[in-house]
Amino acid sequence: MAARKLIAALGACALLATGCGGSAPMGAGGAAAGRDEGPVKIGALHPVSGSNAVDGQQMRRGAQMAVDAINAAGGIASLGGRKVELVTGDTQGKADIGQSEAQRLISAGAVGIVGTYQSAVSTNVAVVAERNRVPFVADVTASDQVYAHGYKYAFRVQPGSEVIATAAAQYLRQVSQQAGKPVKKVAFLHEQSDFGSGAAEAFTEAARQLGIEVGPDISYDAASVSDLTAQVTQVKASGADVLAVAGYYRDSLLAAKAIASVKPDLNAVWGVSNGAYDQPKFVADAGDLGALYFSTNYHYDATNPQTVALREQYQRTYGDPMRTGAVLSYDAVQVIAQAVEQAASTDPEKVRDAIAAARVQPLTVGNGPIQFAPNGDNRNALAVLMQIQNGQVKQVYPPEKAESRPEYQVTWRP
Amino acid sequence: MTNTTQGAPLAPEISPPQKKDRGFLGRAGVVGVVLVVAIVVALLQSGSGLVVWQSVVTGVLTGGLYGLIAMGLTLIFGVLDIVNFAHGALLAVAMFISFGMISATGMHPYLTLVVAIPALFLIGAAVHRGLLSGTGGKSLENQLLITLGLSLLLENGLLMFFGAEPKTIALPGDFQFPLLGAVVAGSRLYAFLGAILLGALLFWLLRRTRLGTAIRAVAANGPGAELVGINVRRIHTLTFAIGTACAGAAAALAGPLVTVTPTLGEQFNITAFVVVVLGGMGNVVGALVGGLLIGLVEQLTTIYLGGQSSLLGVFVVFILVLFLRPQGLFGRKTA
């Protein structure tokens, strides 16, 4: 009796959980509502509640700052100075909710959507955008899958999983050779969704081409993992000389704790699209545990005075350092707003064509202006290598973006 | 609370021991054999004794913590017949109480036990009196929706007050020591020992005190207990409060091991439910042993499947238990 009762309870819970997130009715009937009068609406979809709410809030604020800057500069000139308004949605980090929220923002008259931080959510949002013929400009979305479907309305500002992972493998080879300890074998520890597995696959492919062996490949469930000691012990037993980690914040911190206690025989810990190892917060939380960790990732451009000014303004307003995710959201809003300006129209299809032809100066690190390839990817997106040195995250490679020299040696090895 | 005589969650402890023991030893033997086989297979799979040994050590230590969390849950279920979905959220509340005290006063993380346990005891009592005491005898969905709603309320309340920024609790003077090649973190060992100690204390409370006898009497036969003068409503509130206090204790012990976030409870909630089923619903010792087993299963699954969701192994065990022995390892067969 008791067991049956519990099953019924769990079942009811599951039903309830999915029931809440049921998608809104589809159909583009009211899609054009209100686009022709009032402010030009740009949709921002981020996880502002749930376990990734910190990043979600950062990114929503970044998007809002872009909108404020555009309005302060007189709005959209080609539309007679019409103001821009950010309409926001909360994905809660869930793909189905992201989907219904995207539909809602489009129905509310958004000319384009920026978002969403999680690849799984972006996958669903891209489908909604495609169906409604409204451009979706991803700020943070690592997985390359979305951009392999041949969608016409999906764009992306950040360098994709493959770009970052390939750069990570190349930087690793170059930095380890410079240090006189060329890398031979890399163990890869990653969370198991699109984001972590995608990074691991792309890295493995790139590393093999460079003659670096990758293995073991160890994955874990980021939502439920509470300890990674056994996984790191596997790394230790494998004899790898570098450990690459692709995870979100909480689990990457767990990995750092496990690495500190197991002390595997490594030359370096190498973050690949890692959500922790280039965050000031990680430096504070991990203390000595994270010293000299490397991270290959997208990054705000510390050498651009505009970026510096923006980050100072953010810090003043919100009392918190502005993260790269928020700078990417700022860039993504700029892309849409400049496209509206160019198109002199709020017709999403015309805005889409303007985005496809756009050249926008980014505040994040890039090889040049944001410019989209036919698949929607930013051609000039660039990943940089960072390292935690003396309690600060420094850009260390490639040399033209470096603030400091890479130190290829882990702390626990004298 | 209509059918408690049949479900009799805490009843095995009162039933005559001689009949139950042989079956229990047999079951323990089966579990032991399965574990040994599982470990040997893991050895063959990974080819490294060190990896398997570390998994076993980590599994047991983490399992202690699961056990402690599940003990509170199973007590509430056994006595009140309430499936408390807010257990994880209450754990998160305790974690933030602990975190708040540490950051405000700089006190030692384990000292927060003396605040977290009573605080959660009081919160538990208040929750039961305020929200749940009226639902006895009504449909299951009422309690379910209340506890589920409460967990959402608590999580989002924490999110509002503390923000989603993950927080860490550092244990001053934490250390690592080798155990036959495996690494054991001091904080993990303390959490494990604390769980065992509190489990023993809870067992003693249930078996050797007047309150414990009353709780078991209410669990076995509510109307009967009422007839002999036990204030059933009061016992219900106390039991819910004690169960919640277990979450408080687990929170203070686990603080240095985890990253503190408002949604932290979700990580433990599902695992704790599986532990409760495995250990036999309402059985406190079963919860502790079940916790250790689930901890092991989780770690060994990591070896078998190269780390693909360790929850997969946990759910396989869950389903097997439901099929083969729905009353749990320690529960008595019900009619």
Written as tens digits, the pLDDT of chain A (414 aa) is: 455 555 555 555 444 444 343 333 444 444 445 677 789 999 999 999 877 788 899 999 999 999 999 999 999 999 999 999 999 999 988 999 999 999 999 999 999 999 999 888 999 999 999 999 999 999 998 888 889 989 999 999 999 888 999 999 999 999 999 999 999 999 999 998 878 888 999 999 999 999 999 988 998 888 778 889 889 998 999 999 999 999 988 899 999 999 998 899 999 999 999 989 998 889 988 888 899 999 999 999 888 899 999 999 999 999 988 999 999 999 999 999 999 999 999 999 999 999 999 999 999 988 889 999 999 999 999 999 999 999 999 999 888 888 899 999 898 876
Q: Do A230 and B302 touch (CB under 8 A)?
A: yes
Report the residue from A53, A219, A226 with minimal CB separation from B306. Answer: A219
Q: Do A250 and B159 touch (CB under 8 A)?
A: no
Q: Which residues contact B130 (CB under 8 A, 6 or more apart)?
A: none
Helices B186-208 and B232-254, packing angle to 10 deg: 170
Q: Do A40-159+302-371 and A162-297+384-401 have matching folds?
A: yes
Q: What is the DSSP letter of B166?
A: -
Closest-approach residue (CA) in chain A for B309: A221
Q: Do A12 and B183 touch (CB under 8 A)?
A: no
Interface test with A, best of B69, B308, B315 (most A CBs within 10 A): B308
Question: Residue A359 in contact with residue A335, Cβ under 8 Å?
Answer: no
Q: What is the pLDDT along chain B (335 residues), one digit of tens a residue?
A: 444 444 444 544 444 444 445 577 787 888 888 888 888 888 887 777 888 898 899 999 999 989 989 999 999 988 888 888 999 999 999 999 999 999 999 889 999 999 999 999 999 999 999 888 776 666 677 888 899 999 999 998 998 888 777 888 888 877 888 888 888 888 889 999 999 999 899 999 999 999 999 999 998 888 899 899 999 999 999 999 999 999 999 999 998 888 888 888 887 888 898 999 888 877 888 899 999 999 999 888 888 876 666 778 888 888 888 888 888 877 665 43
Report the residue from A2, A53, A221 with minimal CB separation from B159. Answer: A53
CB atoms within 10 A of CB A374: 10
User: Which residues sit opposite A378 in a β-bridge?
Assistant: A372
CA distance A116 to chain B (A): 17
Q: How far apart are CA B283 and CA B106, in angstroms?
A: 37
Q: How far apart are CA B290 and CA B253, in angstroms?
A: 19
Q: What local confidence, expressed as pLDDT, does residue B306 receive?
A: 67
Angle subtended at Cα B240 by Cα B238 and Cα B246, rounded to the nearest 5 degrees: 105
Closest-approach residue (CA) in chain A for B54: A230
Q: Is B180 helix (H, G, I), strand (E, B) or coil?
A: coil
CB atoms within 10 A of CB A280: 14
Q: Do A281 and B55 touch (CB under 8 A)?
A: no
Query: Tokens in use for A274?
Result: 């890692």
Q: Residues 130-149, chain B: which have Cβ within 8 Å of A?
A: 140-141, 144-145, 148
Question: Residue A254 in contact with residue A225, Cβ under 8 Å?
Answer: yes
Q: Measured between beta carbons, which residues in chain B are less than 8 angstroms from residue A12?
A: 141, 144
Find, among B184, B154, B181, the residue nearest to B269 by Cα: B154
Closest-approach residue (CA) in chain A for B140: A9
Q: What is the DSSP letter of B183?
A: E
Q: How far apart are CA A163 and CA A289, in angstroms?
A: 28
Question: Residue A315 in contact with residue A50, Cβ under 8 Å?
Answer: no
Q: What local confidence, expressed as pLDDT, does residue A5 receive?
A: 58
Q: Do B267 and A224 touch (CB under 8 A)?
A: yes
From the centroid of its chain, how far is CA A348? Answer: 25
Q: How far apart are CA A290 and CA A282, in angstroms?
A: 8
Report the residue from B3, B268, B302 with minimal CB separation from A1. Answer: B3
Specify the CATH number of the domain A40-159+302-371: 3.40.50.2300
| CATH 3.40.50 for domain B49-324 | no
Q: Does B334 touch chain A (CB under 8 A)?
A: yes
Report the residue from A2, A230, A249 with minimal CB separation from B58. Answer: A230
Q: Measured between beta carbons, which residues in chain A are less than 8 angstroms from residue B266?
A: 223
Question: Residue B309 in contact with residue B97, Cβ under 8 Å?
Answer: no
Q: Measured between beta carbons, which residues in chain A are less than 8 angstroms from residue B50?
A: 233, 236-237
Angle subtended at Cα A267 by Cα A261 and Cα A271, rounded to the nearest 5 degrees: 75
Report the residue from B168, B182, B327 with minimal CB separation from A3. Answer: B327
Q: What local confidence, expressed as pLDDT, does residue B51 receive?
A: 86
User: How many Å is the Cα radius of gyration of chain A?
Assistant: 22
Q: Measured between beta carbons, which residues in chain A are less than 8 angstroms from residue B141?
A: 12
CA distance B63 to chain A (A): 11
Q: How far apart are CA B157 and CA B161, in angstroms?
A: 6
Q: Do B276 and A237 touch (CB under 8 A)?
A: no
Q: Do B166 and A249 touch (CB under 8 A)?
A: yes
Q: How far apart are CA B244 and CA B125, in angstroms?
A: 8
Q: Do B166 and A229 touch (CB under 8 A)?
A: no
Q: How far apart are CA B309 and CA B100, in angstroms?
A: 32
Q: How far apart are CA A175 and CA A169, in angstroms?
A: 10
Q: Residues 305-324, chain B: which have Cβ within 8 Å of A?
A: 306-311, 322
Bond before A116 cis per omega within 30 degrees = yes
Q: Measured between beta carbons, which residues in chain A are less than 8 angstroms from residue B182?
A: 233
Find, among A365, A377, A366, A340, the residue nearest to A355 by Cα: A340
Q: What local confidence, expressed as pLDDT, does residue A131 receive?
A: 95
- Which residue's entry shows tokens 């025989």? A265
Q: Do A8 and B140 touch (CB under 8 A)?
A: yes
Q: Does B266 touch chain A (CB under 8 A)?
A: yes
Q: Which residues contact A377 (CB under 8 A, 6 or more apart)?
A: A147, A155, A156, A160, A163
Q: Residues 42-61, chain B: which have Cβ within 8 Å of A?
A: 46, 48, 50-51, 54-55, 58-59
Report the residue from A5, A230, A261 with minimal CB separation from B176. Answer: A261
Assign domain A162-297+384-401 to its CATH architecture.
3-Layer(aba) Sandwich (3.40)
Bond before A398 cis per omega within 30 degrees = yes
Q: How far apart are CA A411 and CA A390, in angstroms?
A: 12
Question: Residue B10 in contact with residue B282, Cβ under 8 Å?
Answer: yes
Q: Computed from CA positions of residues B220, B223, B229, B230, in that sequence, does the dihedral angle turn out positive or negative? A: positive
CA distance B143 to chain A (A): 10
Q: Do A49 and B168 touch (CB under 8 A)?
A: no
Closest-approach residue (CA) in chain A for B263: A51
**Amino acid symbol at A157:** V
Closest-approach residue (CA) in chain A for B65: A226
- Which residue's entry shows tokens 């990974």? B46
Q: What local confidence, expressed as pLDDT, does residue A25 receive?
A: 40
Report the residue from A12, A53, A225 with minimal CB separation from B141. Answer: A12
Global pTM value: 0.79
User: What's the Cα-to-Cα distance from B170 to each of A86, A286, B256, B299, rounded to whole Å?
Assistant: 40, 9, 5, 25
Q: Do B299 and A220 touch (CB under 8 A)?
A: no
CA distance B25 to chain A (A): 23
Q: What local confidence, expressed as pLDDT, does residue A268 receive?
A: 95
Q: Measured between beta carbons, which residues in chain B are less than 8 angstroms from residue A52?
A: 164
Q: What local confidence, expressed as pLDDT, does residue B17 receive?
A: 44
Interface test with A, best of B138, B160, B310 (most A CBs within 10 A): B310
Strands A185-191 and A136-138: unpaired
What is the SS3 string spanning chain A? Answer: CHHHHHHHHHHHHHHHHHHHCCCCCCCCCCCCCCCCCCCEEEEEEECCCCCCHHHHHHHHHHHHHHHHHHHHCCCEHHHCCECEEEEEEECCCCHHHHHHHHHHHHHCCCCEEEECCCHHHHHHHHHHHHHHCCCEEECCCCCCHHHHCCCCCEEECCCCHHHHHHHHHHHHHHHHHHCCCCCCEEEEEEECCHHHHHHHHHHHHHHHHCCCEEEEEEEECCCCCCCCHHHHHHHHHHCCCEEEEECCHHHHHHHHHHHHHHCCCCCEEEEECCCCCCCHHHHHHHHHHHCCCEEEECCECCCCHHHHHHHHHHHHHHCCCCCHHHHHHHHHHHHHHHHHHHHCCCCHHHHHHHHHCCCECCCECECCCECECCCCEECCECCEEEEEECCEEEEEECHHHCCCCCCCCCCCCC
Find, among A159, A235, A242, the residue nearest to A202 by Cα: A159
Q: What local confidence, expressed as pLDDT, does residue A101 receive?
A: 95
Find, among A86, A104, A91, A103, the residue nearest to A46 by Cα: A91
Q: Measured between beta carbons, which residues in chain A are less than 8 angstroms from residue B331?
A: 2
Delimit the domains of chain A by residue range: 40-159+302-371, 162-297+384-401
Question: Residue A123 in contact with residue A136, Cβ under 8 Å?
Answer: no
Cα of first residue to Cα of last residue in chain A, in angstroms, is: 61
User: Which residues sit opposite A389 in a β-bridge?
Assistant: A392
Q: How far apart are CA A340 and CA A355, in angstroms?
A: 9
Find, among A355, A175, A237, the residue nearest to B50 by Cα: A237
